[in-house]
Amino acid sequence: MTRPLVLLDLDGTLMDSIAGVVTAATAAYRATGLPLPTDAELRTFAGPPITDSFARHGVPADLMDAAVDAYRAALEAGALHDTRVFDGIPDALRALRAAGLQLLIATSKPAVWARPLCADFGLAELVDGVFGAPLDESTSNKAAVIGEALASLAEPPSAVVMVGDREHDVEGAQVHGVPTIGVTWGYALPGELDDAGAVALVDSPAELARAVLEQLRLAV
């Protein structure tokens, strides 16, 4: 029998990347001369494609390229590594692997950044692969990244579950008929995960392995 699969979001689920994202987004608004969103609004930039976040928060089409260029420049200047792995995540990943599960990271962060970042912070060695968006995030979405991850498997898994912290994780997984466990330590607004259709919520990394295994048993 093929092994069950766990798809894992990165920002807000495995890594607390909010400081770097806010720094880079702030640089983009300053470079374009646009009004800076509130602190609460800037927190929502972590997770979705940056072009989606810019469009929702006042960046017009004619300034989108300039905003994205400034955002990327700030990340590459150091903001990308202004992040940390959430406490308890490595133990949760080890527990899931010990249970015989396949683990794939599926992130809206461009793959050219996500893969070295996961390697630098010790996550790559705890999973079976890292899948991300193309550098031009406007040509991709979470459903496309999840589709790429699923297509990489030699055999269909016996069951699949997504783990993520934002509505786009839930919605992207739903395209492929995959249920999502929402984690509450990320960047979702109140009620966001429930409204999107998450099948369960987990409040700490210490509870994650148990919740995933329970959901996979239900799906088999």
Alpha helices by DSSP H, 99-219: 111-120, 142-151, 167-174, 192-196, 208-219
Spatial distance between the Cα atoms of 48 and 139, rounded to a whole number of angstroms: 13
Cβ(22)–Cβ(38) below 8 Å: no
> Is residue 165 flagged as an active site residue?
no
Spatial distance between the Cα atoms of 6 and 202, rounded to a whole number of angstroms: 15
Spatial distance between the Cα atoms of 48 and 4, rounded to a whole number of angstroms: 26
Active-site hit among 9, 11, 16, 169: 9
∠ CA 89-92-97 to the nearest 5 degrees? 125
Using CA atoms, how far residue 5 sits from 14, 15, 99, 156, in Å, is: 17, 20, 11, 9
- Could you tell me how far CA 20 lies from the centroid of its own chain? 15
Spatial distance between the Cα atoms of 121 and 84, rounded to a whole number of angstroms: 8
Task: Indicate which residues carry an active-site annotation.
Answer: 9
